Structure 1
Amino acid sequence: MKTSSAFLTGGTASGSGKTTLTIGIMAALKARGLSVQPFKCGPDFIDPSLHRMVTGKISSNLDLRMCGREFCRDTFNFRFNGNDVAVVEGVMGLFDGGIASSAALAKELELPVILIVDASSAAESVAAIVKGFESFSPDVEIAGVIFNRVGSPRHRELIEKSMAGICKAQILGFFPRDIRFEIPDRHLGLHMGEEKPLNEVQLKQLVLAVEKHIDLDQLLQISRRTQAAEQEMFVANASIAKNVRLAVARDEAFCFYYEDNLKMLEAEGAELVFFSPLSDTALPADCKGIYFGGGYPELHAERLSENQAMRQAVNDFARSGGIIYGECGGFMYLCDRIETTGQQSHTMCGIFPFAVQMKTRLSRLGYRKPCLVADCFLGRRGQHLHGHEFHYSEIVGSTVGTPTLYQIDADIVEGYTFKNVIGGYLHLHFARNRELSKSFISELTGSQIITKTT
């Protein structure tokens, strides 16, 4: 059994600087030559891309509510195995979210918590905050604390004196205020890792700052643990034909995918073929289905609209009976048009006969557990799916006449359908219902629709 280090970084609240410090710690540990395996608590798509930016490794979402306890434990052990350090970034404040909270995940995985405290507007009072977090749930081990946005040596001195003899957590560092390390954001959150929100110079500066202001040696020491026995995940299903080509839209407009969903599809026999609705003019050859994930189609609506050849190819594929699954941003692309907050209207694929309109405020947010009301390529009637919804757009115009597959609440339906197309705002995670990925690929195997050669 290999002895390594593993911990969860938690904040006292959103905006504490958790993400910046987490990726800084990951980058600094990697710069030391350690193999760092990242994870993200919760349904977030953006933070895992930042983790991958600095570690080069896939960051799995560990969400007890959406993915279930078994999947979270098994995925953590599977990806951690063989690495030197596992870093799980928490979500919101440490105890926010009930069963889906960072604290609940830390308990489930038996991880010590490194608490990040924004000290910018307080001094001695931060000791009361740390003490409160320590006593709120004694079975959550707050092993260390990092004070962020510390303004001066005097500020640090006041915090140290107030902590002495009061709090059990070890002080691991005092990180200064520094706008050079702030990651730009927009309506759905921080910029994606693929967009390089921190350039190479900034990342090097961040690593140097972490090494200077955070005691990484002590952090690694207090989070030592023995890895679990080797765990198998995403084992290929030998009973299903292999190399069923599934086109997956992936570019600046479509970039929100749970990486483990893609792994589950591959395990069921899918050969994933990535393409760009922004740049390509035809679908990949010989594909039996298309998967449109979420992202930022509203930011690229003009380019998506101008690529008439791709929109026509998708429309033709749908009308010929091709299997298409689109969620959130992908669903928006399948609609008739996108209307921006600037009152501009951009034509999309027109598979669903209504528009979506961007709003300046969040439209819907939260976990969803839809029940299928009819058989489809995602499963059978009566099965429950699990996912999350987070978007700034709304459907405009009537949806009457467009069938739906998801019953969410007594008066809320979703999962719009047209022939073999399913689209909606929900981001589904396949972990708690593995029949979903099996059913999806099984339907593709029997599909007679084949795309034209590019």
Structure 2
Amino acid sequence: MALIIAGERSGVGKTTVTLALLSCLSRRYRRVQSFKVGPDYIDPMFHQRVTGRPCRNLDPVLTSETYVQACFKRHLNGVDYALIEGVMGLFDGASGRDDVASTAHIARLLNVPVLLVLDCSRLSRSVAAIAQGYCCFDQSIQVAGVVLNRVGSDRHLELLQDALEPLQLPILGVLRRQDSLTIPDRHLGLVPTDELTFLDQLIDQLADIGETCFNWERLLPLLRAEIHDLTVTNQPLNTSVTQSVTRIAIARDRAFSFYYQDNLDLLQQLGAELVPWSPLGDTTLPEDVQGLFFGGGFPEVFAQELAHNIEARQAVWNAIVQGMPTYAECGGLMYLCQQVTDFEEKCWSMVGILPTEAVMGKRLTLGYRQATALQHTPLVLMGERVWGHEFHRSQLTASPEHPLFETRGYDPKGKVGIEGWRMHQLHASYIHLHWGGTVDIPQRFLKCCQQFNPN
């Protein structure tokens, strides 16, 4: 079994509760595995920093229900305890009309109980109505108990306990208001772990809180990494297309850090050697690489440093012009533009391969996308449909003459758009892809890289 942390809504403290549990578990035990529901990059960074193990994303839209089950089962092997952090409110799904891809969906799919986090900062007796509503809304969801977050005083706690007592719903945790316990955020969520100098102290503080605020006697049996009533057959991975090691330069620094661990694992299993390099600090590409991989991140925050590293920008430009297969997602796409205009309206030169500019703004582009390829690239075939996710506050000043994708939102009646660039052997798009359900994509990319010959 494992436990899934759900909230009544976004912002109730799911991440704080999850990190407190993980910090305390990791202090006591070595083998703790975490998971995150949905298309998230930053929360998994915090999980990994606490547990020392990569967090795994569980997203049935980007992959499939079968893949979610297989991923969960695979990564429970060899661990003692497991914890899943949910997304938004318990029943909030991708469309808003049902609970597909919600925390509840994953709880049913994996047959795991829910620990419901309630924000009690402006509640007393009403907490019982909220808790009862969540418990009764879907009888197939097992609510194992609640965590009362942001409790103000002993008197406040007494009122909450009295209100919940008739429901016979276990209170498995009580977190007092912690004004000093804050993780800074910015325009796309929490500030990533590599930028926080005080993170080790924060983890220790969370572990100390976790020792005293949770009912561990009741929680530990729920958190044990055991699988019940989940029958999944793992499909063997066909690695026949990769008969030799393929060196891929992967941008990994403060500006580029958004990668699904499963994608990196697939590349390595298929025969790739991932060679980290920094567009911020390195002046050349790694030697003897046959492909480039730029994930998302925050190039707008570090645009000045990226612009000043002229040697790195020129090296990337030369490699792409020579035909080196290159995959760039979101922030990676921005880095390949002519320039980036930051939130202060300052313009910074970038690689310059794409004939467009990325301009930061207030508008948030967010949501799942079904993308149909309009041409062949090193990753997709013309006519192929893939599910991806967009999450950015930048807009491009020019559209591609020959777009890469036709896109549609999760709602099939939604607006149709075009986006993405295909130049040389470059696949650049705002759309983040998870390859768990589409192994053909990394296989094509590596095969294309193997064929690259700069001479």
TM range, smaller chain: over 0.9
Residue 135 of structure 2 corresponds to 134
Deviation at 1:411, TM superposition (A): 4.1
Q: TM-score, normalised by structure 2?
A: 0.93
Residue 51 of structure 1 corresponds to 47
How many residue pairs align between the two structures? 442
Kept after mapping to 1: 8 A contact 2:82/2:225: no
- Are 1:75 and 2:81 counterparts? no
Residue 31 of structure 1 corresponds to 27
Map Cα deviations across residues 91-120 of structure 1 (whole Å, 9 max, x no partner): 011111121100000100001000000000
Other structure's SS at 2:355 match: strand
Kept after mapping to 1: 8 A contact 2:377/2:422: no
Q: 1:233 to 1:207 in 2, by over 3 A?
A: farther
Map Cα deviations across residues 7-50 of structure 1 (whole Å, 9 max, x no partner): 10001111101101101100101111252100000001000000
- Are 1:8 and 2:7 counterparts? no
Q: 1:323 to 1:70 in 2, by over 3 A?
A: same
Deviation at 1:375, TM superposition (A): 2.0
Deviation at 1:303, TM superposition (A): 0.5
Of 418, 424, 434, the match for 1:419: 424
Kept after mapping to 2: 8 A contact 1:34/1:85: no
Q: 1:197 to 1:70 in 2, by over 3 A?
A: farther
- Distance in 2 between the 1:68 and 1:355 partners? 35
Map Cα deviations across residues 105-156 of structure 1 (whole Å, 9 max, x no partner): 0100001000000000101111110100001111011111000000011111
Kept after mapping to 2: 8 A contact 1:370/1:385: yes
- Distance in 1 between the 2:285 and 2:185 partners? 32
Q: How does 1:133-152 map to 2 (within 5 A)?
A: 133-152=134-153
Q: TM-score, normalised by structure 1?
A: 0.94
Kept after mapping to 1: 8 A contact 2:2/2:81: yes
Other structure's SS at 2:6 match: strand
Kept after mapping to 2: 8 A contact 1:78/1:233: no
Residue 104 of structure 1 corresponds to 105
- Are 1:408 and 2:407 counterparts? yes
Kept after mapping to 1: 8 A contact 2:76/2:226: no
Residue 431 of structure 1 corresponds to 436
- Distance in 2 between the 1:143 and 1:131 partners? 13
Of 59, 66, 73, the match for 1:63: 59
Residue 221 of structure 1 corresponds to 221
Residue 262 of structure 1 corresponds to 264
Other structure's SS at 1:290 match: strand
- Distance in 2 between the 1:34 and 1:194 partners? 22
- Distance in 2 between the 1:221 and 1:96 partners? 28
Q: 1:257 to 1:233 in 2, by over 3 A?
A: farther
- Are 1:178 and 2:178 counterparts? yes
- Distance in 2 between the 1:31 and 1:158 partners? 33
Kept after mapping to 2: 8 A contact 1:372/1:406: yes
Amino acid at match of 1:240: T
- Are 1:244 and 2:246 counterparts? yes
Kept after mapping to 1: 8 A contact 2:338/2:349: yes
Kept after mapping to 2: 8 A contact 1:49/1:192: yes
Map Cα deviations across residues 162-196 of structure 1 (whole Å, 9 max, x no partner): 11122x43111211000222111010101212334
- Distance in 1 between the 2:332 and 2:429 partners? 8
Q: 1:225 to 1:390 in 2, by over 3 A?
A: closer
Kept after mapping to 1: 8 A contact 2:33/2:76: yes
Map Cα deviations across residues 223-250 of structure 1 (whole Å, 9 max, x no partner): 5573378976884714422310111001
Amino acid at match of 1:18: K
- Distance in 1 between the 2:38 and 2:166 partners? 34
Of 344, 349, 365, the match for 2:346: 344
- Distance in 2 between the 1:282 and 1:372 partners? 32
Kept after mapping to 2: 8 A contact 1:407/1:414: yes
Kept after mapping to 2: 8 A contact 1:11/1:18: yes
Deviation at 1:199, TM superposition (A): 3.1
Kept after mapping to 2: 8 A contact 1:245/1:270: yes
Other structure's SS at 2:180 match: helix
Kept after mapping to 2: 8 A contact 1:338/1:345: yes
Kept after mapping to 2: 8 A contact 1:180/1:202: no
- Are 1:159 and 2:160 counterparts? yes
- Higher mean alpha-carbon deviation, 221-230 vs 418-427, is at 221-230
Could you list the runs of 5+ residues in structure 2 that have no partner in the other structure?
A: 94-98, 409-414
- Distance in 1 between the 2:247 and 2:30 partners? 36
Amino acid at match of 1:32: R
- Higher mean alpha-carbon deviation, 229-238 vs 374-383, is at 229-238
Residue 201 of structure 1 corresponds to 201
Q: 1:226 to 1:205 in 2, by over 3 A?
A: closer
Map Cα deviations across residues 379-423 of structure 1 (whole Å, 9 max, x no partner): 222211121000010012x3253x222111474112211111111
Kept after mapping to 2: 8 A contact 1:234/1:264: no
Map Cα deviations across residues 195-219 of structure 1 (whole Å, 9 max, x no partner): 3465333322221211111112211
Q: How does 1:294-305 map to 2 (within 5 A)?
A: 294-305=296-307
Residue 169 of structure 1 corresponds to 169
Residue 124 of structure 2 corresponds to 123
Other structure's SS at 1:219 match: helix
Could you list the runs of 5+ residues in structure 1 that have no partner in the other structure?
A: none
